[in-house]
Structure 1
Amino acid sequence: MSTSADVTPPPPPVPPAVSARTLLPLVVPALVVGVGCSLLFLAVSALAEELQEVLWTDLPDALGIGGYSALWMIVMLTSTGVLVGLVVWKAPGGAGPDPATLGLGEEEPLRPYVVPGLLVANALMLAGGPSLGPENPIIAANVALAFWLGTKALPGAPGQLWMSLATAATLGALFGTPVAAALVVSEALAGRPMPVKGSLWDNLFGPLLAAAAGSLTTTLLASPSFDLGLPPFGRPDWGDLLAAIVVACAAAVLGMVAVLLFPYVHRAFGSLRHPMLMLPLGGLVLGLLGALGGQLTLFKGLHEVGELAADPDGRSAGQFAGLAVVKLVALLVAAACGFRGGRIFPAVFVGAAFGLCVHALVPGVHPSVGIAAGVLGMLLAITRQGWISLFTAAVLVSSPAIIALMCIASLPAWLLVTGRPQMQLTEDGTPLR
């Protein structure tokens, strides 16, 4: 007699085939959203760059002050805190929710009236020097606008469609390639009901097209490049593999120190209870950190990473370590006190500086391996996004051999960070896990 234990469970159902007729209506919305998201990103970036030139070059030159003197950095960062604090205080919707509670495009769309204040706060932050990037506010703004306009233009389309298209398009615009968006969207879809009743590729069709349109628009208008131009990296050996694993794990541990401190720093600034106290004080602290670490520890960090990589042997291990620690503390303070910005790009700087510190200590560690592994481990700890961490680490170094090393190094580093508190808080200040 057979028992219930002998019964073989039925195989999981195969997703139904999706016809081209189902996917073709996505083409025009995806293209429109992709181009629109890229144009908004480029407009905010261009405005921030022009304002940065005025604040850090034209104005100090007119006053006869060194643009990156310790005094000017303290004045500028504190002033940026005051200006962003005014926007957060007075703008409709407070320039969006507390950025410490936000992830990478995972939240409900903001109301349209919140978007102008959020973009102004982000542009002021990018120009003023705090150690945050543009990604979270730009994604939130694009998602809000795409959702609002899309549901009006095509009321029958699901709202989730516009959110996924805008998120993918903005990631494509930010990185100049649709690959990052495809990886992030596929990671977000894991374990969730598919919007389209078909395969994963069917569900990636619209977002990938939007990301391609966004990345192509950015490439044609701005020609971004993440390649650091590091010394050529040839065939890896066992020493390179060991170095990649050790550096990635060490960088992940360093990043987790900041993650564990994040709720306490956030609570300390939150005790001031007003943006006109929290942000100016945060700006003052960032100014003091800038005076300590120098010009390279300011701003989002992507251009500054290029300066580090241009001369991987030009600094001592202590100098690289100092840059990494100051930048990491600056990232922690900027994210906790209320500046509107993302954490990916400054984390890239921290990881690169850490990797070059290891290279300076152990010259046998190739600078390409050190930078890629340092960025990988740091991003895993700060973002908890496996694919985006792996992609960013690999794209910085123009070598196919790096990809295999980073894939292996990501596994032990992931074991160190998974299941632990994240650098994102709930409304009551509790870290997400």
Structure 2
Amino acid sequence: MLLSRDYLRLLLLSALIGVPIALACFFFVSLQHEIQHAVWTSLPEAVGYHRPPWWWPLPALLLAGLLLAPIVTRAPGGGGHLPVHGLGGPPLGPSALPGVVFAALATLPLGVVLGPEAPLMALGSGLALLAIRSARRAENPKAVLVLGTTGSTAAISTILGGPIVAAVMVVEAAGLAGPRLVVLLLPCLLASGVGALVFTGFGSWTGFSIGALELPSVPSDVNPDAGDFLWGIPVAVVIAAVVSTAHRLGALTAEWTARRTAVRTVLAACGVGVAISAYALITGRDPAEAALSGQATLGTLAADPHSWPVAALFVLVLCKGLAWGISLGALRGGPIFPSVLIGAAFGVGCAGLPGFGTTPALAVGIVTATAVVTRLPVTSSVLAVLLLGDDAHHQMPLITVCAVVGFVTAQLLERPARKSP
């Protein structure tokens, strides 16, 4: 099959669609960041504030709910999948793309506590399916499935640090083995590599922010010792419980918004605004730290974790966790990015424990939260290693252990919920 003419054409088409998907993702992410900067930086400065006041999230999230309500109730595809169900179900068709793009660009920059990864995957799969329809190959269901997956993988690789994380995610999520895995993996790798090259190249050329999940710098520590493992494992259990609880709140919110969806979507968005404003009121810090996807705050936290009061970190976990849980069940976006910040903030907050280093604590928080949300421990480990950069090889044993601990803890906590009527 790998040497057949049809499969080689499929590989060529995968490489070709990686270019327009990367360009679409680049302009999508750049526009999102420009709107976000206008809402949270330029507009407050224009009205006389050096940073957004504590009440700023309230009107912003109200507006987000009002903009999203007609999309989720009337637009094809409902503006995308509910993030509480993961990164999405079957690939969305081209008809759903306008609703997905509008829902993301109109609400994520306003402070919705979700990431851009799910809309990007929907954008990638929709464009790939549009390409195969244009090539008149839509009658082949296998080609439709492979290219839909290829498009979404190419899209998410642009913000997860390159094609490796995206490829590992495909391998782990697909649950395939042998030749079937290779058949799916090769087009995904090819499109992701081409897409990531175009995406980063355009970012360097234009100077626009490309919004990738990255840590510009992390504290440098020695290899984790016995103290880091003794503290890291129980901290991973607690982080898994916290993230699982917020995820359960998302499931309850999804059940609540299933009826009277338009009105309750607006109310849920207002609830997110209240949680973010509460963080700013309690801590006296910038409400943007608890709002949005958390990419910028994660970089700030990792670069200088000792500048954050421990109390502020745990208030961030509480308020952002509540806002994230509500967003999961009512709004539209990706579930991964905010959970990474929640886990990292909790881990760094525990770094003052005797014998628990800052970088090991950061690593524990990142990998545990990601493993709980994605239920992909290998992907979570690879992502954590890439985020930690040069110091990652020191933290690998702790990362892999805590990925398993977080995954198993989440499964055990979820089992009673599955059994309950």
TM-score range, shorter chain: 0.7 to 0.9
CA-CA distance at 1:280 after TM superposition: 2.1
Matched, 1:348 2:336: no
**Residue matched to 2:47:** 63
Which region of structure 1 is more displaced relative to structure 2, 259-268 or 43-52? 259-268
**Residue matched to 1:375:** 366
CA-CA distance at 1:204 after TM superposition: 1.8
Larger radius of gyration: 1
Which region of structure 1 is more displaced relative to structure 2, 402-411 or 172-181? 402-411
Which region of structure 1 is more displaced relative to structure 2, 166-175 or 343-352? 166-175
Query: Equivalences for 1:64-213 in 2 at 5 Å?
Result: 64=48, 67-100=51-84, 102-105=85-88, 107-155=89-137, 158-190=143-175, 192=176, 198=179, 200-213=181-194
CA-CA distance at 1:148 after TM superposition: 2.9
Q: 1:266 aligns with which of 223, 234, 254?
A: 254
Q: 2:404 aligns with which of 411, 414, 420?
A: 411
Query: Equivalences for 1:276-291 in 2 at 5 Å?
Result: 277-291=263-277
**Residue matched to 1:10:** none
Contact 2:363 2:384 in 1 (8 A): yes
Give the 3 Å change call, closer, same or farther, for CA 67–30 of structure 1 in structure 2. same
Q: 1:393 aligns with which of 376, 384, 404?
A: 384
**Residue matched to 1:307:** 300
One-letter identity of the residue aligned with 1:71 = W
CA-CA distance at 1:250 after TM superposition: 1.9
CA-CA distance at 1:96 after TM superposition: 3.6
Aligned partners of 1:282, 1:61: CA distance in 2, in Å? 28
Contact 1:259 1:381 in 2 (8 A): no
Higher helix share: 2
Q: Secondary structure at the match of 1:64?
A: coil
Contact 1:176 1:218 in 2 (8 A): no
Query: Once the two structures are superposed, what CA deviation does each residue of 1:78-125 show, in whole Å capped at 9, x if it has no partner?
Result: 11211222333453443245444x4324x2232322211111111122
Give the 3 Å change call, closer, same or farther, for CA 263–29 of structure 1 in structure 2. same
Aligned partners of 1:21, 1:404: CA distance in 2, in Å? 44
Aligned length: 400
Contact 2:313 2:346 in 1 (8 A): yes
Aligned partners of 2:334, 2:61: CA distance in 1, in Å? 17
Aligned partners of 2:349, 2:308: CA distance in 1, in Å? 9
Give the 3 Å change call, closer, same or farther, for CA 60–86 of structure 1 in structure 2. farther
Which region of structure 1 is more displaced relative to structure 2, 256-265 or 170-179? 256-265
Contact 1:243 1:369 in 2 (8 A): no
CA-CA distance at 1:65 after TM superposition: 5.1
Contact 1:247 1:377 in 2 (8 A): no
Query: Equivalences for 1:42-57 in 2 at 5 Å?
Result: 42-57=26-41
Aligned partners of 1:34, 1:307: CA distance in 2, in Å? 32
Aligned partners of 1:59, 1:229: CA distance in 2, in Å? 29
Query: Equivalences for 1:222-301 in 2 at 5 Å?
Result: 222=203, 224=212, 226-271=214-259, 273-275=260-262, 277-294=263-280, 295=287, 296-301=289-294
Structure 1 length-normalised TM? 0.84
Runs of 5+ unmatched residues, structure 1: 1-16
Aligned partners of 2:61, 2:166: CA distance in 1, in Å? 32
Aligned partners of 1:261, 1:431: CA distance in 2, in Å? 17
One-letter identity of the residue aligned with 1:103 = G
Give the 3 Å change call, closer, same or farther, for CA 79–227 of structure 1 in structure 2. same
Give the 3 Å change call, closer, same or farther, for CA 104–274 of structure 1 in structure 2. closer
Query: Once the two structures are superposed, what CA deviation does each residue of 1:12-49 show, in whole Å capped at 9, x if it has no partner?
Result: xxxxx844867533332122222222222211111112
CA-CA distance at 1:169 after TM superposition: 0.6
Contact 2:219 2:302 in 1 (8 A): no
Contact 1:66 1:72 in 2 (8 A): no
Q: Secondary structure at the match of 1:309?
A: helix
Query: Once the two structures are superposed, what CA deviation does each residue of 1:200-222 show, in whole Å capped at 9, x if it has no partner?
Result: 44542111111111222222122
Query: Equivalences for 1:17-36 in 2 at 5 Å?
Result: 18-19=2-3, 24-36=8-20
RMSD over aligned CA atoms reads 2.6
Query: Once the two structures are superposed, what CA deviation does each residue of 1:303-345 show, in whole Å capped at 9, x if it has no partner?
Result: 11111122211223222111111111110011112x2101100
Contact 1:269 1:278 in 2 (8 A): yes
**Residue matched to 1:324:** 317
Contact 1:65 1:72 in 2 (8 A): no
Query: Once the two structures are superposed, what CA deviation does each residue of 1:170-197 show, in whole Å capped at 9, x if it has no partner?
Result: 121121311111111111332x4x6xx8
One-letter identity of the residue aligned with 1:322 = V
Contact 1:228 1:397 in 2 (8 A): no
One-letter identity of the residue aligned with 1:85 = A
Runs of 5+ unmatched residues, structure 2: 205-211, 281-286
Contact 1:286 1:334 in 2 (8 A): yes
Overall identity of the aligned pairs, in %: 28
Aligned partners of 1:186, 1:335: CA distance in 2, in Å? 25
One-letter identity of the residue aligned with 2:109 = A
Q: Secondary structure at the match of 2:332?
A: coil
Show structure 1 runs of 4+ deviating over 4 A: 20-23
Contact 1:173 1:217 in 2 (8 A): no
Query: Equivalences for 1:357-376 in 2 at 5 Å?
Result: 357-360=349-352, 362=353, 364-376=355-367
CA-CA distance at 1:349 after TM superposition: 0.6
